[in-house]
């Protein structure tokens, strides 16, 4: 996984609440057996008009957001399906950071598995940023994971909270399975104890 | 010391390690795997040279992509076929039990887990699918995960987690005739919103919950995720034990007796505290119909479509306007005036034998309205077989419903069962997101009883007053 330290980049604004993962990447892109190449499917139904041509009003189609690496959006982003294709598609488009007042749990987890930093800010802070981004083409923010701050062009900073363990894994780009396997002895000990307490859970699934 | 909730008991009995900051290595007893969210996980294992730690704790089945028409014809969509073939190869390479597409035991992953006795009280169960919350109906801690975590569990049988908060949702009283678990959960989501349960595990309690069958409890827990909660649970009782007994993968003989005696402790202590509590009265719950593009946009069938003009909150008004435009609905129109084109009875929410029995009872002797396309998709091959033994397929066919093979089908329309743009569907599934059942398709979430009534009448009606 790619580490996340600091990032300065253009902010794209998606001013909608409850954006679900079916919108982020619709079903037809879930048939893949790969993690890559999902950019085409990102917001697939929202980025076209009824006749199939690109919708000039949709944020991804606007030249001002070309090369954006930070997505600014509203409450409950990533709700619904657990599909990790949603962060894969965002990553494929170039997004490394998503800022919102709240996220759905599974999507939030999935971001950390893919080197994407999900940042929760207060609703009024997101409101201020949303206003400024919409008003200012080329608007950029600097995200610093080590200090847990976001800095606006005018110098204003926004502090965000993040779980220390997740922060460390993301900052160093660690393989989380490798970390868990360091506790192999503890897992084995747990299994032995559990087997004596609940032996019915250790019968095999027959084929 | 304060008592423990059901959730606390299961969580605490699965701790492998806990760091001072609360980061927990949680043991996962069982994993269910399907074709859509697993190929990249298996690929990850291969690339890292890892093997599954306990392949025997894993059960795999294709469900999302499978055709619900004649299986002998194979899968027309080459990419879908490739994904299912990849699952077969991965299960063979890694020694995981697979119920293949032509196995009678095949079905929607959240139907077959309980059906096989794979889902047991007091366990931790995960699957790369958000509706894994279904299995909480048995007093298990069951939640959906992403593909990276699927790989993590395959490799380590553990997940790194932070302890969630607990919410009690108590429903007391007696439901009206033909109101069901589906109406309870839709009413709850209408109340708490689609993010109301974020960060929580819900425990459903109260006399109306106790009165639900296991199928009803599964419907209820299934849609916890639509309220934002990764997991929902109901404490096990005699119904739970009776349901599990004798199922193929359930413990047998003395082991079963030992398990049942352990399950008796799986209830919230009287002095335990939840982080939040919500109380509803079953009598207040009308048959529910979703009108918008988020499961929280739901009302009783006796209500009218909301009017954005009366809304003061800017974000809510905009979301409502957008939803009404997408859904092609007019503010203030009665829900019962909404005409439908399609009816889908199926999905991991409502495709079990009890759902089909009720639907068949209501469909018997009636006819699907002219111009309405109605289909019934059983949750598993075994549900289908059972229904056919009871003659339900005949009832449905005679009433004008199509009778299909088991799978996820039109719940998410990954196979050929897709709404056309603008088509309006009364669906017993769980999500009414834009395009969920097909690009431009319009979904109204309802119970099986409401779906049958809508199929016959061609529009929504209040099932409580249906002759």
Cβ–Cβ below 8 Å for A203 and B251: yes
Instruction: Report CA-CA distances (Å) from B253 to B237, B239, B245, B259, B260.
Output: 19, 18, 10, 10, 11
Q: What is the pLDDT of residue B255?
A: 96
Residue B26's Cβ-side half-sphere holds a number of Cα atoms within 13 Å equal to 24
Of B56, B162, B262, the CB nearest to A205: B56
- For residues A27-46, average pLDDT: 95
Distance (Å) from the C-alpha of residue A175 to the closest C-alpha of chain B?
10
Residue B1 clears pLDDT 80, i.e. is over it: no
The span from the CA of B283 to the CA of B279, in Å, is 12
d(CA B453, CA B443): 16
For residue B129, give the nearest of A82, A179, A183 by CB distance: A82
pLDDT digits (tens, 9 = 90+) for A152-162: 999 999 999 99
Q: Is the pLDDT of residue A64 over 70?
A: yes
* Mean pLDDT, residues B259-286: 98
pLDDT per position as a tens digit, B204-261: 999 999 999 999 999 999 999 999 999 999 999 999 999 999 999 999 999 999 999 9
Q: How confident is the model at residue B2 (pLDDT cuts 50, 70, 90)?
A: confident
Q: Between chain A and chain B, how many beta carbons pairs sit less than 8 Å apart?
A: 195
Partner-chain contact A20 B433, CB within 8 Å: yes
User: Would you place residue B72 in the very low, low, confident or very high pLDDT band (cuts 50, 70, 90)?
Assistant: confident
Interchain CB distance below 8 Å, A45 and B434: yes
**Which pLDDT belongs to residue A204?**
67
- When CB atoms are compared, the residue of B59, B152, B162 closest to A163 is B162
pLDDT at A206: 62
Task: Kindly list the distances between the CA atom of residue B319 and the CA atoms of A15, B299, B313, B331, in Å, as whole numbers in the listed order.
Answer: 10, 16, 10, 13
Percent of the residues in chain A that have a pLDDT greater than 70, as a whole number? 98
Name the pLDDT band for A1 (thresholds 50, 70, 90): confident
User: Given a cut of 90, is residue B467 above it in pLDDT?
Assistant: no
Question: Which of A111, A92, A89 is closest to A100 using CA atoms?
Answer: A111
> Strands A149-151 and A157-159: what pairing?
antiparallel
Q: Which chain A residues are Cβ-neighbours of B53 within 8 angstroms?
A: 187
Q: Mean pLDDT, chain B, as a whole number?
A: 97
Predicted pLDDT at B107: 98
Q: Which residue has the tokens 């330290």?
A: A5
Helices B214-222, B109-116: inter-axial angle, 10-degree rounding: 140
Q: Is the pLDDT of residue B75 over 70?
A: yes
Per CB-CB distance under 8 Å, the chain B contacts of A74 are: 315
Predicted confidence at residue B347, as pLDDT, reads 98
Q: For residue A136, what pLDDT is reported?
A: 97
> In this predicted complex, what is the ipTM?
0.96
Please tell me the distance from the alpha carbon of residue B304 to that of residue B200, in angstroms, as a whole number: 31
What is the rounded CA–CA span in Å between residue B449 and residue B358?
7
- Percent of chain B topping pLDDT 90: 98
Average pLDDT over residues B121-132: 98
Q: What is the pLDDT of residue A158?
A: 98
Is the model's pLDDT at B31 over the cut of 70?
yes
Task: Give pTM, 2 decimals.
Answer: 0.97
The answer to whether the Cβ–Cβ distance between B82 and A26 falls below 8 Å is no
d(CA B132, CA B430): 13
A164 at B interface, C-beta within 8 A: yes
CA A165 to CA B94: how far, in whole Å? 31
Chain B CB within 8 Å of residue A200 CB? yes
The answer to whether A143 and A119 have CB atoms below 8 angstroms apart is: yes
Q: What is the mean pLDDT of residues B254-270?
A: 97
Residue B417 has pLDDT above 90, yes or no: yes
Amino acid B99: pLDDT = 97
Quote the pLDDT of residue A7: 98
From A22, A176, A186, residue closest to B16, measured CB to CB: A186
Shortest CB distance from A84 goes to which of B43, B80, B147?
A: B147
Q: Do B21 and A165 make contact, defined as CB atoms within 8 angstroms? A: yes
Q: A207 pLDDT exceeds 60? A: no
Looking at beta carbons, which residues of chain A come within 8 Å of B128? 82, 84
Dihedral of CA B237/B239/B243/B246: which sign? positive
pLDDT digits (tens, 9 = 90+) for A12-35: 999 999 999 999 999 999 999 999
pLDDT at A110 over 80: yes
């Amino acid at each position: 996984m790619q580490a996340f330290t600091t990032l300065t980049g253009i902010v794209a604004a998606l001013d909608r609440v409850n954006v679900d993962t079916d919108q982020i990447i619709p079903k037809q892109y879930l048939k893949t057996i790969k993690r890559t190449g999902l950019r085409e499917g990102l917001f697939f139904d929202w980025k076209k008009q009824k006749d199939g041509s690109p919708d000039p009003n949709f944020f991804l189609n606007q030249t001002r957001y070309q090369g954006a690496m930070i997505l600014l959006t509203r409450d409950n982003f990533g709700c619904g399906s657990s599909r990790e294709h949603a962060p894969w598609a965002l990553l494929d488009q170039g997004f490394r950071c998503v800022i919102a007042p709240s996220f759905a749990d599974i999507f939030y987890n999935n971001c950390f598995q893919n080197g994407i930093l999900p940042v929760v800010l207060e609703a009024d802070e997101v409101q201020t940023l949303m206003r400024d981004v919409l008003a200012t083409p080329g608007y950029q923010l600097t995200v610093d994971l080590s200090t847990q701050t976001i800095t606006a062009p005018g110098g204003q900073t926004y502090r965000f909270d993040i779980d220390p363990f997740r922060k460390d894994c993301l900052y160093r780009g660690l393989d989380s399975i490798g970390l868990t396997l360091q506790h192999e002895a503890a897992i084995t000990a747990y299994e032995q104890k559990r087997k004596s307490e609940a032996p019915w859970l250790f019968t095999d699934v027959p084929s | 010391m304060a008592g423990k909730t059901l959730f606390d008991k299961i969580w605490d009995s699965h701790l492998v390690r806990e760091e001072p900051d609360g980061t927990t290595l949680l043991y996962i007893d069982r994993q269910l795997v399907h074709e859509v969210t697993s190929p990249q996980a298996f690929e990850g294992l291969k690339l890292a040279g890892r093997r599954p730690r306990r392949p025997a704790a894993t059960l795999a089945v294709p469900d999302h992509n499978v055709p619900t028409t004649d299986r002998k014809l194979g899968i027309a969509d080459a990419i879908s076929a490739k994904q299912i073939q990849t699952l077969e190869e991965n299960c063979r390479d890694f020694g995981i039990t697979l119920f293949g597409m032509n196995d009678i035991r095949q079905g929607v992953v959240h139907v077959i887990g309980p059906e096989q006795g794979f889902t047991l009280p007091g366990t931790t169960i995960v699957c790369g699918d958000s509706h894994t919350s279904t299995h909480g109906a048995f007093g298990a801690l069951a939640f959906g995960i992403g593909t990276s975590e699927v790989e993590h569990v395959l490799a380590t049988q553990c997940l790194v987690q932070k302890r969630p908060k607990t919410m009690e949702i108590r429903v007391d009283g007696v439901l009206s005739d033909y109101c069901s678990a589906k109406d309870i959960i839709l009413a709850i989501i209408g109340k708490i919103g689609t993010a109301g349960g974020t960060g929580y595990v819900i425990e459903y309690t109260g006399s109306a919950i106790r009165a639900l069958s296991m199928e009803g409890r599964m419907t209820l827990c299934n849609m916890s995720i639509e309220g934002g909660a990764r997991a929902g649970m109901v404490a096990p009782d005699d119904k739970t034990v009776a349901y599990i007994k004798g199922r193929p993968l359930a413990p047998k003989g003395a082991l079963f007796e030992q398990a049942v005696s352990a399950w008796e402790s799986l209830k919230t202590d009287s002095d335990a505290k939840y982080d939040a509590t919500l109380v509803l009265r079953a009598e207040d719950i009308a048959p529910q119909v979703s009108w918008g593009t988020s499961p929280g946009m739901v009302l009783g069938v006796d209500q009218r479509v909301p009017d954005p003009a009366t809304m003061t909150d800017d974000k809510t008004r905009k979301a409502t306007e957008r939803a009404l435009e997408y859904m092609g609905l007019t503010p203030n129109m009665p829900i019962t005036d909404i005409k439908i084109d399609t009816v889908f009875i199926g999905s991991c929410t409502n495709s079990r034998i009890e759902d089909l029995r009720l639907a068949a009872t209501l469909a018997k002797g009636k006819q699907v309205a002219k111009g309405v396309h109605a289909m019934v998709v059983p949750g598993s091959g075994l549900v289908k077989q059972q229904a056919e033994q009871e003659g339900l397929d005949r009832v449905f066919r005679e009433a004008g419903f199509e009778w299909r093979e088991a799978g996820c089908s039109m719940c998410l329309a990954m196979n050929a069962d897709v709404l056309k743009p603008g088509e309006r569907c009364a669906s017993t599934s769980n999500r009414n997101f834009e395009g969920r059942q097909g690009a431009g398709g319009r979904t109204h979430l309802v119970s099986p009883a409401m779906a049958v009534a809508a199929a016959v009448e061609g529009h929504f009606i209040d099932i409580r007053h249906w002759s």
